[in-house]
């Protein structure tokens, strides 16, 4: 197996594990939102990387956390994905336009994408108050209420459906041995 084939198999396989783990942690009501949000971010990123790897994107380009925007652009052209979701081309364009900001919010759960001193689902961060005092904030104590609310809205349901359907897109998932 070539490295490109190995990469193309590794990302969707890991994305599926992250998806299942995310769903299990979200169902566990006694855990903070950061637990499943962290896995959602990883699932979203790896789904994007799986899709792009199947399209021939180089390993160097796949190392970046900033792949989801390219993925959304690619999804606009996915005829089979539109069919799987049951929407027209114009509706797909509208859906993607509606979820781009939410997608960026999910991507910002990654510390590298969030930036210094910004909330992320993985590591503690520092926040400096107006008086110069420094506060240490931890993901498990930060509710991510705005993002969780958005994920529970129609925009969020569309985002989650798009990600799930992308993983099932026969254009590339069959080539990895994943049933639809």
Q: Which whole number is the average pLDDT over 86-109? A: 91
Model pTM score: 0.86
With a pLDDT cut of 70, the percent of the chain lying above it is: 93
Contact 39, 33 (CB under 8 A): no
Contact 55, 74 (CB under 8 A): yes
Can you give the residue ranges of every domain in the chain? 3-176
- Please report, for residues 1, 77, 125, 138, 153, the alpha-carbon distance to residue 35 in angstroms, rounded to integers and kept in the order given: 35, 33, 16, 12, 20
- Please report, for residues 14, 52, 86, 148, 155, the alpha-carbon distance to residue 152 in angstroms, rounded to integers and kept in the order given: 25, 27, 21, 6, 8
Lowest mean pLDDT: which of 59-63, 123-127, 169-173? 169-173
115-139 pLDDT per residue, tens? 888 999 999 999 988 899 999 999 9
Lowest mean pLDDT: which of 22-26, 86-90, 156-160? 86-90
- pLDDT value for 177: 45
């Amino acid at each position: 197996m070539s490295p490109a084939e190995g990469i193309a198999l590794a990302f969707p396989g890991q994305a599926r594990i992250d998806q299942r783990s995310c769903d299990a942690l979200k169902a566990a009501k006694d855990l903070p939102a950061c637990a499943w949000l962290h896995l959602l971010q990883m699932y979203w990123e790896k789904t994007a990387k799986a899709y792009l790897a199947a399209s021939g994107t180089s390993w160097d380009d796949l190392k970046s956390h900033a792949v989801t925007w390219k993925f959304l652009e690619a999804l606009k052209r996915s005829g089979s994905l539109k069919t799987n979701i049951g929407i027209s081309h114009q509706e797909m364009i509208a859906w993607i336009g509606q979820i781009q900001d939410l997608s960026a919010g999910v991507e910002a759960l990654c510390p590298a994408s969030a930036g210094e001193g910004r909330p992320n689902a993985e590591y503690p961060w520092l926040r400096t108050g107006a008086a110069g005092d420094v506060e240490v904030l931890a993901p498990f104590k930060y509710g991510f209420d705005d993002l969780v609310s958005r994920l529970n809205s129609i925009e969020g349901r569309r985002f989650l459906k798009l990600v799930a359907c992308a993983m099932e897109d026969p254009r590339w998932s069959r080539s990895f041995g994943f049933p639809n």
